[in-house]
A and B are shown apart, each in its own frame.
Chain A
Amino acid sequence: MSDIVRYEAKEKDIVIIIDRDLCKGCDICVQVCKPKGLELKDAPDKWEGAVVEMIDPDLCNFCRLCEVQCPDFAIRVVRKDEEKSITVGGAKKTAAEQ
C-alpha cells in the first residue's frame, strides 16, 4: 500500500509530493533546500526510521534541487496541472505487501 503525501502551496502553483516508503531519511533534500522548506522527522513506522516532511509548501521556490538530488526518487516537485501526468515511486495500485 503506497504512502504518498502531497503538499499543495496556497499562494504558488506548486505541489510537492513525497513517497514516505521510498524516503530513507538521508537528509540530502533538507540540506539542499535553500528556503529551508523541508525537515526530517522521526517515523517509527518506517523501516529507515525517519522521513522528510514539508514545513510549508509556500516556502518552495521551485528550484527542484530536492528532486534532482534525492537518490531514491522519493520527492517530486511539479506544477498543479502536471501532477496527473507523473508517477511517483513504485506502482500506484498494488496488492503486493512490501
Chain B
Amino acid sequence: MPSHGRDKSDIVFWQGNEVVAQAAIAAGCRFFAGYPITPSSEIAAVMAERLPEVGGKFIQMEDEIAAMGAVIGASLAGEKSLTATSGPGFSLKMEHIGYACMIEAPCVIINVMRGGPSTGLPTAPAQADIMQTRWGTHGDHATIAYAPSFHREIYLYTIKCFNMAEKYRVPTILLIDEVLGHMSEGMHVPDESEYELFDRVKPSVPPEEYNPYDARFGDVPPMANYFEGYRFHATGLNHGANGFPTTNPEICHSEEMRMIRKVMKDAEVLAEYEEYLLEDAEVCVFAFGSTARGAKMAVDRARKSGIKVGLFRAITIWPFPEKRVHELAQRVKAFVVPEMNLGQIILEVERAAHREMPIVGVNRVGGVPIPPYEILEKIKEIAQNA
C-alpha cells in the first residue's frame, strides 16, 4: 500500500502518480472522479484512499466521459476537482473539456501519457499528446498545461494546476508520462510555506444581481457556486453575460475573445522553464518531461567534448514559452528537440524561432525513453554542421 510520509522531515519514496495525488490533497482537492487506465490508475487508488480521510469524495465513474462530467459538476458546486487518465481516456474527455472551457469551470486533468495512438502501449511512456492537449477539443479555447520533470516538481506543479484553474476559470492539464508516473524517487514533501493556494473569486453582488460571465469585473468573472443561493444557467452554447444562449455575433465574438485573452494576456508570466548552460550556448536542446532528464546528461557529455550546448527545459507547455524561445533563437545556431513522439513540440519551437535555422528532432516512439547517447549524437552532428 502506498505510504503517506506525512511527517514533513521524512524523505518519502513515492512513485510519480502518488506524488500527484498527495499534492492534489495538499492543494485542497476534495473531489475525484475517474476511470482506471494504465498508467494513471494509481492516482485514482491513492485519491480513493486519501479523500475520505479529508472529508472529500471519490467516485469511480462508468467511463472517462462520465468522469469529466462529474468533475465539472463538482466544480460548479464549489469543489476543487480532479480527474486522471491517459491517452485513450484523454480523447474521450475532449468534448467535456471544451464544455468546461465554455462554461469556465475550474478543473484539473492529469494525463499520464502512454504509447499511442489508440490503445497503443499502456505500460510504456510517450509524449505524443502535446498538440491534443492544446487542440483536442474543438473550437477556440485557452489552454494551460505543465510538464514537470522531477517528482518534487510534479508535486508543486500539481498544486499550481489547481491554482491556475481557480485563477483563470479554465481546465488545467498536467502532463507526465508512464516513466514519471510509475518511477519512484526520493523527495522531501514540500512544506506549505513553499507554495500558495488560490481560490476562485466569489461574487461581490447579491444573487439577484449576479451574472455568471460579468466582464465588468475583469476578464475572469467572479464565480458563484451552486447551492449557495446563486442561480445561473451554464450552457455550452455561446452565451452572454447572464449565461443564457445568444447568437448575436458581436457578443459571441467578444466573449470568445475574453475567454482566450483571460489566459493569453498572462502568457509570459505563465511560461515557466529552466535554462541550463545556455549563456554561451551555440546549440540549444529543447526538452520537457522525463526526456529532459536524459537531455541534461547528453548536454553534460557534449560539454565535456567542448561543444557549446545548453538545455532549455520547458515546464509550461501551454501557453508555449514563445517569447523566450524566440529570444534564444536569435543567438543560438540550432535547436535539437528530443521528444517521445514523431514531432509535436518542435512545431512550436519552429514557430516561435521564426527564422531559418536548423531545428532538428530526436524522435522515438515504441515506448522506450530516448537514450541520452541518441541526443548526444544529434548534438554532435548539429554542432559540426552549424
Residues of A within 8 A of B (CB): 21-22, 24, 47-48, 72-73, 87, 89-94, 96, 98
Contacts and interface: CB of A to CB of B under 8 A. Distances in A.
Contacts of B216: 96
A91 B209 contact: yes
B99 to A, nearest CB: 17
Given A93-B208, A93-B209, A98-B251, A87 B242 contact: no
23 contacts: A22-B244, A47-B246, A47-B248, A87-B231, A89-B244, A90-B233, A90-B242, A90-B243, A90-B244, A91-B209, A91-B210, A91-B242, A92-B208, A93-B208, A94-B209, A94-B211, A96-B214, A96-B216, A98-B240, A98-B241, A98-B242, A98-B246, A98-B248
Contact of B247 (A22, A47, A89, A98): A47
Contact of B211 (A22, A24, A47, A96): A96
Contacts of B245: 24, 72
A79 B231 CA distance: 22
Contacts of A73: 233, 244
Interface in B222-245: 231-233, 240-245
B205 to A, nearest CB: 9
B328 to A, nearest CB: 44
Contacts of A89: 242, 244
Contacts of B248: 47, 98
A87 B216 CA distance: 23
Contacts of A24: 245, 247
Interface string B200-219: 00000000111100101000
Please classify the interface of chain B as helix (H, G, I), strand (E, B), loop, or mixed, using the class held by over half of its residues: loop
A88 B238 CA distance: 20
A89 B245 CA distance: 11
Q: Which 6 A-B pairs have the closest CB atoms?
A: A90-B242, A96-B241, A47-B248, A92-B208, A93-B209, A98-B240
B215 to A, nearest CB: 8
Contacts of B243: 90
Contacts of A94: 209, 211, 242
Contacts of A47: 246-248
A49 to B, nearest CB: 11
Given A87-B231, A91-B211, A91-B242, 18 more contacts: A21-B244, A22-B244, A47-B246, A47-B247, A72-B245, A73-B233, A89-B242, A89-B244, A90-B243, A91-B209, A92-B208, A93-B208, A94-B209, A94-B211, A94-B242, A96-B211, A96-B214, A98-B240
Nearest to A21: B244
Contacts of A96: 211, 214, 216, 241-242
A94 B203 CA distance: 14
Nearest to B248: A47
Contacts of B240: 98
B208 A90 contact: no
Contacts of B251: 98
Contacts of B209: 91, 93-94
A22 B235 CA distance: 13
B41 to A, nearest CB: 40
B235 to A, nearest CB: 9
A87 B240 CA distance: 18
A55 B210 CA distance: 33
A94 B208 CA distance: 8
B20 to A, nearest CB: 39
Which of B232, B246, B248 lies at the interface centre, i.e. has the most chain A CB atoms within 10 A of its CB?
A: B246
B266 to A, nearest CB: 24
A91 B212 CA distance: 9
A98 B208 CA distance: 16
A87 B233 CA distance: 12
Contacts of B211: 90-91, 94, 96
